[in-house]
Each structure stands twice: as structure tokens, then as C-alpha cells.
Amino acid sequence: MADVMLLRAQKASARSINLSCKKLKRVPKLIGAIQSIIHIDLKGNKLQVLPDELGNLMQVESLNLGNNEFSIIPLCISQLFTLNILHLFQNQLETIPEGVFENLRCLTVLNLNNNLLTKLPKDVCNLVNLEKLSLDNNNLRQLPFEICALSRLKELRITKNRLERLPLEFGFLSRLEELHVPLNRLRELPESLGKCYNLKVLDVAANELRIFPTEMEQLPLVELHCEENPLLSHLPVHSIQEEEVLSLKELAARYVMTELKDRFSSLRAHLKDFPELKRMLAQSSTCAVCSQPFLNTWLECVHFIKPRKLKLKNSTTGNSLEIPIRALLCSYGCFNKKNHEYYGVAFP
């Protein structure tokens, strides 16, 4: 039956072929001769391989291989240079071989839901135009930092995996609008998440989070879902800490960073001659109390905000009436000052 349908499609110079739910175990090689094809639907079959001839198609924009029996992504897909949408949901994929994504630079949508993936290949960074990536219901424990090179990514879904952390470079996903990572094992979110200036939807429900990144309040969120996390509770206990002695390196770094605020300072002109120093100072933080820069010595604190302060249109925060946000202080001197709402973190 498939051969007959492909013959008809070839004679008619068809732009679309639908062979879904035909109980196919193979795809005829003839498919590689139908150069007019743009859309191919092969979902709901029993396919485990594809003919190499499929890679000869020069105009294919969408390929649906969902609900089949693939244990590995066929390498012929890497030759579909014009591919825009690829569905591989509900298969038996355990790994993705290096090289599959190398030439898929036109891909905007990739659906790998409901597979057995334990990791992504580093060459995922080749998907330079990817806008939507869906990895729900897999076995991923971590993401390669190369995923942060997907500068056009707008939606990332990784529901119900085994993620223990997100890459530190996550902030490079500056166009990200939706992040869905519920039902994982995340203990914290990267500080760089605050650089995702377009993030509108954040779903981190049912993880192991206790606190949110420092710049959480800067995100333009309209939806936040964080129920079923062991978030820190606002139960203040009086505490006074003695001022610590700063290292010479820390004192020098703070002096330099303060001087650099003066645009007439001679240090500004000389800094370009010390690239390693410039890189080191770029890792500095700003004290939440005194607003002065500091390098390494800091005190992790927390302050609590009401969900309404984030101007959310939709949120589920469980039983928590306040959201704990991380804050960094430069010293116990600032911590001991009065009239601020930052609290030291105490773990049971």
C-alpha cells in the first residue's frame, strides 16, 4: 500500500505525504525520488529505521516520526538541510548520536517527548534557529552547557526528568519566554536565570528548591508555578554576627572596583592592560544592603516577597504565601545593620 501511495505522489509531484497509522515496518526507498515533498507524516507506525534515500530530499520542511519504535535517530535525517519541524515523540530513543544535528540549521521545532534519553549531544548547539525544544518524560540528569548557545530558543520543556541542575550559563538564553521544568530534582536555579530578560512563564513545581536567584524580581514573569518545593519559610530568629577580617585580595579588589566607578580614575585606563584582572573583576557581586561591589567574601541571605509583587497573572505557589529570593551581602557589618529585610539562611 505504501508503495502505491508513493508512486501516486511521485506522479502528482505531491508536496505532502501522509503515511501515518499504517502499521508500517519499513518505508520504501522510492520516497527519496519524490523531490517535491515538503511535509512527511509517518507517525503511529512500527518503524525502527529509515531508508538512506530519505536524505536525498532537498525541500522537506516537516517530518513527523512520532509514536514509532526508533531506538536511535536515523542519520539520514542529518541530510535534510531544509528541515524546519521534527517530531520524534513516543519512541524508544536512549541516545542521540553525534552528528545528527550538525546540518539542521533551519530547525525551529524539535519534539523528543516520551523517550528514554539520558543525555543530549554537545552538537545540539548547531540548531542555531531552534525556537521550541520539548524533552518531557525522559531520563535526563543534566543538560550540556552547549544548549545555552541556542540564542533563538523561546520555549524549553523538560517536565518529568531527573535533572539535578541547570547549566550555569543559562542566562545566555536571552530570548527564552517559557521554561517548564516541573517534576525534576532541581535543588537550585542558576543565578544567570535573572539574565533571561524575556522570561514570562516559569514552572519549577515539584522539585527540591529552597530559594530563588537574586534577580528573580527583575524577570517579566506573568506565570510562576513553584508548588511542592521545600521553600524556605519566613520564621525570623534574632542573630548578631561578628565582623570578619577580609583578605588582602578582597580588600584590594574592593578598592579597585570602587575606583573604577570614577570615570576619571587612572585605573580605568590601565585595566585594559590586565585582561586576567578584568575577567576576575567581572565575577564580582553587589551588596544588597550597601550596593558596594565585592569579589569573593559574601554572606548568602534571603528576603521574602509576595507573589503579587511580581505582577503575576497566574501562579501556583502551594501553601507558601511568600517567595524566598536569594540576596548577597558583602559583610556581617551590612548584615547587622538595622532597617533592612534580609535574613540569614538557617537550615534544619
H/E segment holding residue 2: helix 2-11
Q: How many domains does the chain have?
A: 1
Assess if residue 226 is contained within a domain: no
- Is residue 174 within 8 Å of residue 199, measured between CB atoms? no
Q: 241: pLDDT confidence band, cut at 50, 70 and 90?
A: low
User: In degrees rounded to 5, what are phi and psi of residue 216?
Assistant: -55, -40
d(CA 198, CA 176): 6
The per-residue pLDDT for 281 is 85
Can you spell out the DSSP letters for 282-328?
TT-EE-TTT--EESS--EEEEEEE-GGGGT-SEEE-TT-SSEEEEEE
H/E segment holding residue 5: helix 2-11
Predicted confidence (pLDDT) per residue in 33-60, tens digit: 999 999 999 999 999 999 999 999 999 9
The per-residue pLDDT for 311 is 72
Assess if residue 255 is contained within a domain: yes
Look at residue 318 and tell me whether its pLDDT is greater than 70: no
Q: Average pLDDT in the 293-308 region?
A: 85
Can you spell out the DSSP letters for 93-114?
-----TTTTTT-TT--EEE--S
d(CA 261, CA 267): 10
Task: Domain of residue 252: give its range.
Answer: 248-296
Assess if residue 88 is contained within a domain: no
Assess if residue 46 is contained within a domain: no
Assess if residue 109 is contained within a domain: no
d(CA 330, CA 296): 9
Instruction: Please state the pTM of the whole predicted model.
Output: 0.88
Instruction: Tell me which range, 40-49, 234-243, 319-328, 331-340, is most confidently predicted by mean pLDDT.
Output: 40-49
Assess if residue 274 is contained within a domain: yes
* Of 224, 213, 112, nearest in space to 179 by CA: 224
Assess if residue 38 is contained within a domain: no
Assess if residue 287 is contained within a domain: yes
